[in-house]
Structure formats: structure tokens, C-alpha cells
Amino acid sequence: MKKFLSRFLISFAYYLRSNAKYQKRRRFFYNLLENDNYKYKHYFDYFMIFLIFVSVFVLIREVHHHVDDVLMFINNVIISFIFFIEYLLRLWVNGSVTKIILEQEEHDTMLSREFQLDEVLKRIAKVKFEYMMTPKAIIDLLAILPFFHELRLLRLFVLFRVFKIFRYTKSFTGLVSVLASKKFEFFTLFLFASVVIFISSVLIFVIEGNNPASNIKDFFSALYWSVVTLSTVGFGDITPVSQEGRFVTIFIIISGVGVLSFFTSLIVSAFNERLDEFKEAKMIEDVTKLQKFYLICGYDTIAKEVVKEYKFKNKNIIVIDNKEERVNNAKSDGLQAFLLNPGSVASYTKLHVNFKKQVVAVLCLAHDDVANVYTALTVRSIDANVRILSLLMNDVNKKKLQFAGVNDIIYPQELIGMITRELVGQPVAFEAIHALRSENSIVKIGEIIITEGMLSHYSYVGDLGNKRFRIVLLGVYKKRYEKFWFNPIDSTLLEAGDILLVIGYGPFIAEFEKHLMSKDRHE
């Protein structure tokens, strides 16, 4: 019988591991219940919070009013059953039974011995029991007890459903984690407060217990008075009448002020220490919500110039850099920036970046070819198709960047040399270039992509009519040839995907692009 059960468990475990539908469903429920980054989890959390408030509303209302039988049935049976199913699903997805069985089977096979069924059952029971003993799992279990609504006392366990909100609300979870970081300090404070309360309770009971004028007749009244006085609430319903009792009151009030001050300082320091972590977590959450963005790796001088152009076009930009100073500079420029290593896969995993759906292009703009190569290799290992653009600081490293999978390489030294050769001895030309680079200038350089819809109205460059909008056409980037044609003639044929490079006043460029797009929309 034991051998039959062992063979059955092993065969069933292999079947489940190879069953795509089972694995898909398990991942779905795990993401729905435990993965905060899963897009549908927020809807599930909102639904469960709604059920919790319904339960509490019913509990409060039935104190003085009759609750409709249908609503009571929903609360005591349907909602409880939903929480029961949720509890079973969490028990299922936390700790893989299949993994435990197969690990034991492989271990026993390697040692050439029989399958240790007893050991497997113990490990499974241990894993599940450890989860059941966690605070959240205990609260989940207590929240199910109103399912046995015939016992009126068990209805009070509906209140435990309120504590389930901690599971569904990240803010509460963050608060608990902050307080947990100071658990030793809070435990020390609790011990001190407990000693003070115990000593003062004994003293006040001994001093006031036999006084006929005192309303402290038992030890519980003395304990109640100590707690109220130490908390500096001071209801005044129980007060000492003797001089000795009032002296004890002075002592406990002074101690209470110290306890409250220490408690407040602990909370403030805990939040200050974790404030940056909370801000980063919120920023990462915002990144996951972005539809499209450009990922800039390295925030040096050239990156700042690139950002100005993208911000002018209202493009979403995310910056990552491994230097804190550069990250702070990016944040001061109004960007979402993270102190992460662009050459590490863990950095993109932490950001939950979806290269296929979110990233338009990766720009490696560090003033270091080695860093750019590592970044390109890392990104290319994650996604083979995402477009990568990189700076090239030293021409000898060009092949390395190409080998790393960089699509477009920019050599700033070569570009600067070309401009210098053209403008030597032409101070006015230098002034014009400087004016274009100025962030305060209203003269801008813009890019307009030719779409299929535009081609039915604008087949040639001469058809564009850019002069009517006082726009200068610098050139056209021909996608088919991957070349830039400077100052093209009017008979130049336009094709879908070509990029117009224009210069002019910002509002005029916007109007010109709007004019071209309006033709596109009429199609």
C-alpha cells in the first residue's frame, strides 16, 4: 500500500508539473492573491475590501435594527464562503507540494533508496502549517468563523474581517513594515511601560485600597488607573485621595510623558529611515503604469541635451544611473530617475520593465564606452528586438558596441569636428548654433514621421507646403536607405516611415505637424 501511494504521488507530481493548464492556473491565482505587480490584483483587492465593509455594516446595523434575511444570508453564507475559498487558494499557492515530492524523489533516486513517503508528508505538513501560523493566515481563518452563523457568539468574528484590510492595502502593509523595523526598540519601551504600570498599580492599590473615601477597591481598578494615567489621558473617574497616592500619580505622569516622547520619536525615526524606500516604490509603481517611454542609461551632459528635446515633444523618460550625484541631477530636472546599475539584469527586474510593450528605445548615453557596452549587452540579453542607441567616445570601441547589438551609434567627437570644420571663421554661424541649443530659445528642431495616411496627399517633398508655415526643411531621413538626405529637392519621393527634420518657431512646427496629421485623420 505504501509503495502504491508513493508511486501514485510521484506520477501525479510529474503530471502536474508537465501540465500547462494546471501551471497556468496556479500562476494566475498566485499573481491574483500575492503579486502586487499583477494588473488584476488591484480589482480583486477592491472587491474583497467591499465585502469586508458589507460584513461590518451588517454587524453594526443588526445591533438596533432588523437586517433583511437576504442580506444576512449574503453576509453569513456567501461572503464567508468567498473568504473560505480565498483561504484555501492561499493555502494552495503558498508552498508547492509538487516541488517537495519531486525534490525528495530525485534525492532518493540519487542515493539509490526507496522513496521516503513519511519524510515527504512531514515536509508538506510543515510547509502548510508554517503558512497557517502566520498572522495574516490566522486572521483569514478567524474571518471565516461567521460561516457558522448558528452560533451567535461567532458573529463577533466578523470584526476580524476588518484586519484583512491590511492584506489588501499596501499602505497598511508599509506601515506595519516600518513599525517592524523598530521592533527591538518598541519591545524595550513595552517592557519599561509594563514595569511602570505594574509597580504603580501595586503601590496605588496598597495605599488606596483600604481608604473608604477612595474608589480603588480592587487590583483591576488600580491597573486601569495606572494605564489611563500613564497614557496621560486622565479620565478622572478614578483618582487617589491620599497624599501618598497623589505622589505616585506625579511619578506615573512624568513616566508617561517620557514613554509617549520615546514612542513618538521611534515612529518619526522609522518613517524617516524608510521614506526614500517608499518614494522609490511609488516611482516603480508609476513606471509599470506607463504605456511607452524612453529608457536613458547614464545621465551626463549629452543626456541632458537629449532630455530637453524629448521633453519638448512630451515624451515619457526614465533615467537609471549608478552614480547618486547624476541621479539627483536628473530628479532636479524633473525626471523619474533611479539609482541602479544599467549593466545589471536585476536593475530592470526591480523596475518591472516590459521592453516589448513599454520601451520605445534604450539610449546608452554614459561618457564611458565600457559602461555602454555592458548596458547594451544586458538589455539585448533581455530583449533581442528593442532599439538601442549608444554614444561612442572612442572610435576603437565601435565594433564592440556593434557586437553588443547597438542599432545606432553616435560619435560626438566626429560630429563636433564636422561642425567645427564648417563654421571656422564664421562667428555668426556659431551664434546661430548657440541660439538653437539654448533652452530659452523659441526656435526648435523637430521630427515628423511620414505615415501612410499622409502619402495620399503628400507624395513629394514639394507637396508639403512647409514654407507657408515658415518652417525650414533641413532634410529627410529615408528609412529604406537608412540615410539622411540634406536639403532635398522638391521631387524627392516620400515613403511611409520617412522622418522630416524641420526647424522653426515651436508653435509653427506644432501647427505644421497638426496640418499634416489632419490630412491623415481624414483618411
Pairing of strands 483-486, 472-478: antiparallel
pLDDT over 70, % of the chain: 88
In a domain, 421, yes or no: no
Q: How confident is the model at residue 432 (pLDDT cuts 50, 70, 90)?
A: low
Residue 154 predicted with pLDDT over 60: no
Q: Within this chain, do residues 145 and 234 fall inside the same structural domain, yes or no?
A: no
- pLDDT tens string 465-498: 888 888 888 888 887 777 788 888 888 899 888 8
Q: Within this chain, do residues 134 and 191 fall inside the same structural domain, yes or no?
A: no
Give the three-class secondary structure for 473: strand
Within a 10 A sphere around the Cβ of 216, how many other Cβ atoms?
24
Q: Exposed, middle or buried, 1 (CB in 10 Å: 0-12/13-18/19+)?
A: exposed
Q: Which of 86, 93, 95, 73 has its CA nearest to residue 141? A: 86
Residue 353 predicted with pLDDT over 60: yes
Q: Within this chain, do residues 13 and 158 fall inside the same structural domain, yes or no?
A: yes
- Distance of CA 291 to CAs 288, 354, 360, 400, Å? 8, 10, 10, 32
Cell numbers at 351, concatenated: 523596475
Please report the pLDDT score of residue 431 as a whole number.
58
Q: Within this chain, do residues 16 and 152 fall inside the same structural domain, yes or no?
A: yes
Q: Within this chain, do residues 115 and 12 fall inside the same structural domain, yes or no?
A: yes
Please report the pLDDT score of residue 442 as a whole number.
67
Q: Which residue has cell 563636433?
A: 416
Cell numbers at 362, concatenated: 534604450
Check: CB of residue 391 under 8 Å from CB of residue 304.
Answer: no
Look at residues 219, 251, 276 and tell me which one is the last residue of a structural domain. Answer: 276
In a domain, 419, yes or no: no
**What's the mean pLDDT in 268-276?**
77
pTM over 0.85: no
Q: Which residues contact 240 (CB under 8 A, 6 or more apart)?
A: 204, 207, 208, 214, 216, 246, 248, 249
d(CA 492, CA 497): 15
* Cα-Cα-Cα-Cα dihedral sign, residues 429, 430, 436, 440: negative
**What's the mean pLDDT in 155-167?**
68
d(CA 199, CA 128): 43
- Distance of CA 235 to CAs 139, 192, 228, 232, 259, Å? 33, 23, 7, 9, 19
Look at residues 410, 429, 459 and tell me which one is the last residue of a structural domain. Answer: 410
**Any idea what the Cα angle at residue 273 is, between residues 268 and 276, rounded to 5°?**
120
Q: Exposed, middle or buried, 421 (CB in 10 Å: 0-12/13-18/19+)?
A: exposed
Check: CB of residue 388 under 8 Å from CB of residue 364.
Answer: yes
Check: CB of residue 502 under 8 Å from CB of residue 464.
Answer: no
Q: Which of 507, 503, 518, 509 has its CA nearest to residue 436? A: 503
| Cα-to-chain-centroid distance, residue 122 | 37
Look at residues 142, 168, 194 and tell me which one is the last residue of a structural domain. Answer: 168
Q: How confident is the model at residue 374 (pLDDT cuts 50, 70, 90)?
A: very high
Q: Within this chain, do residues 388 and 299 fall inside the same structural domain, yes or no?
A: yes
In a domain, 70, yes or no: yes
Q: How confident is the model at residue 515 (pLDDT cuts 50, 70, 90)?
A: confident
Q: What is the 3-state secondary structure (H, E, C) of 460-471?
A: EHHHCCHHHHCC
Residue 511 predicted with pLDDT over 90: no
Q: Within this chain, do residues 373 and 470 fall inside the same structural domain, yes or no?
A: no
Check: CB of residue 449 under 8 Å from CB of residue 497.
Answer: yes
Please report the pLDDT score of residue 29 as a whole number.
93
- pLDDT tens string 211-261: 887 778 888 888 988 888 888 787 777 888 888 888 888 888 888 888 888
Give the three-class secondary structure for 38: coil
Q: What does 349-397 look like in DSSP terms, one character per residue? A: HHHT--TTTTEEEEEE--S-HHHHHHHHHHHHHH-SSSEEEEE-SSGGG
Please report the pLDDT score of residue 67 as a whole number.
79
Beta pairing partners, 390: 364, 409
- DSSP letter for 237, please: S
Mean pLDDT lowest among 168-182, 268-282, 372-386, 504-518: 168-182
Mean pLDDT lowest among 25-34, 166-175, 320-329: 166-175
User: What residue type is assigned to position 516 of the chain?
Assistant: L
Q: Within this chain, do residues 160 and 13 fall inside the same structural domain, yes or no?
A: yes
Q: Within this chain, do residues 202 and 156 fall inside the same structural domain, yes or no?
A: no
In a domain, 176, yes or no: no
Beta pairing partners, 294: 317, 361
Q: Within this chain, do residues 44 and 126 fall inside the same structural domain, yes or no?
A: yes
Residue 103 belongs to domain spanning = 2-168
Please report the pLDDT score of residue 481 as a whole number.
77
* Cα-Cα-Cα-Cα dihedral sign, residues 189, 194, 195, 196: positive
Q: How confident is the model at residue 89 (pLDDT cuts 50, 70, 90)?
A: very high
Q: Within this chain, do residues 298 and 334 fall inside the same structural domain, yes or no?
A: yes
In a domain, 430, yes or no: no
Residue 424 predicted with pLDDT over 70: no
Give the three-class secondary structure for 339: strand
Please report the pLDDT score of residue 452 as a whole number.
83
Q: Which of 159, 29, 177, 135 has its CA nearest to residue 90? A: 29
In a domain, 433, yes or no: no
In a domain, 434, yes or no: no
- pLDDT tens string 134-152: 888 888 887 776 555 444 5
User: What residue type is assigned to position 360 of the chain?
Assistant: V
For the chain, how are helix, strand and coil distributed in percent, rounded to 5? 65, 10, 25
Residue 369 predicted with pLDDT over 50: yes
**What's the mean pLDDT in 410-424?**
52
d(CA 359, CA 317): 10
Mean pLDDT lowest among 68-77, 190-199, 335-344, 349-358: 68-77
Check: CB of residue 400 under 8 Å from CB of residue 269.
Answer: no
In a domain, 462, yes or no: yes
Mean residue pLDDT across the chain: 82
- pLDDT tens string 104-129: 888 888 888 888 888 888 999 999 99
Pairing of strands 359-364, 387-391: parallel
Q: What's the number of domains the chain is made of?
A: 4
Q: How confident is the model at residue 156 (pLDDT cuts 50, 70, 90)?
A: low
Q: Which residue has cell 516622547?
A: 261
Cell numbers at 265, concatenated: 520619536
Pairing of strands 499-505, 293-297: unpaired
Please report the pLDDT score of residue 109 as a whole number.
85
CATH number where 187 lies = 1.10.287.70
Element housing 486 (H / E): strand 483-486
CATH number where 360 lies = 3.40.50.720
- pLDDT tens string 176-213: 777 777 888 888 888 989 998 999 889 888 888 888 87
**What's the mean pLDDT in 403-426?**
63
Q: Within this chain, do residues 254 and 296 fall inside the same structural domain, yes or no?
A: no
First to last CA, the chain: 74
Q: What residue ranges in 163-311 does DSSP mark as E strands?
A: 293-297
